[in-house]
Amino acid sequence: MGIPEAIETIQERIHKACARSGRKAEEVRLMGVSKFHELPAIEEAWKAGIRLFGESRVQEAASKFSDFEAKHPETELHMIGSLQRNKAKIVTGRIAGGYLFDAVQSVDRDELIAELGRLTGDRKNPLIVLLEYHTAEDSKSGYPDLDSLFRAADAVLAFPGLALRGLMTMAPLTRDEAAIRASFRAMVFARDALAARFPAADWSCLSMGMSGDFEIAIEEGSTLVRIGTAIFNP
Ligand SMILES: *Cc1c(COP(=O)(O)O)cnc(C)c1O
């Protein structure tokens, strides 16, 4: 199966998961996670309709996407990997015609919020921020609990160059469906608690679901699925 067929298959599976959980397919965005994949594959995914891409390493993203985005201005690029503070400058940096990244989904430390806020003070389009929530024991990253998420939300909302948009999580890498579901339900619970505490903020994005678990994520309320393997190595 080539990349276009793989994308079509995933879109069908998204539609079916939405249908059986009473949701509209337009509620779920499909991200192509292009880390480790070269420009010709990314170009193929673009031709097959993918406009939202995710990368997990800053340098790799900069080298692949600076020219790609100049050629395809409708591209939206999100940082999804763990981000060191000394790379924040590249993540918030400009490229011809705009900014390299539109969003950072992997915001997991208050010092990173402060650095991103400092670097985006004069930005025309704010940098979209998702707070990463740690919902799986085998994952290392993410805010550990509701209190730390409350504090992080407070911090993001204080910076004019940052636009808070929701949460991101990774479920455990397991075949145990109940454990995966529990992880996604913890996200929904956290989102509801945050929305109650910060009702004026935008909590519309729930980024959850990867190649192995995106249908479960959709059933549990995901609005953005991050698919790498099933698109680029089907
Ligand atoms: C690599 C990665 C993905 C994509 O994973 P696949 O299993 O290849 O679909 C999604 N989210 C994050 C944060 C990743 O690092």
Backbone torsion region of residue 98, taken as left when φ is above 0, otherwise alpha when ψ lies between -120 and 50, otherwise beta: left
Amino acid letter, residue 41: A
Is the model's pTM score more than 0.85?
yes
In this predicted structure, the answer to whether residue 139 has a pLDDT above a threshold of 90 is no
> Model confidence at 73, in pLDDT bands (50, 70, 90)?
very high
Q: What is the pLDDT of residue 194?
A: 98
- Residue 140's pLDDT is 84
Mean pLDDT of 131-149: 94
Determine the pLDDT at residue 234. Answer: 78
Closest residue by Cα to atom 7, ligand 1, is 211
**Is any ligand 1 atom within 6 A of the Cβ of residue 84?**
no
Residue 37 in contact with ligand 1 by CB distance below 6 A: no
Pocket-testing residue among 56, 206, 207, 216, ligand 1, by greatest number of atoms within 8 A of Cβ: 56
Atom of ligand 1 nearest to the CA of 214: 9
Q: How far is the CA of 200 from the centre of ligand 1 (A)?
A: 30
Residue 209, sorted as left (phi over 0), alpha (psi -120 to 50) or beta, turns out to be: left
Residue 193 scores a pLDDT above 90: yes
Average pLDDT over residues 160-164: 98
pLDDT tens for each residue of 9-38: 999 999 999 999 999 999 999 999 999 999
Long-range contacts of 146-152, Cβ-Cβ distance < 8 Å, separation of 24 or more: 146/190, 146/193, 146/194, 149/190, 149/194, 150/194, 150/197, 151/110, 152/107, 152/110, 152/113
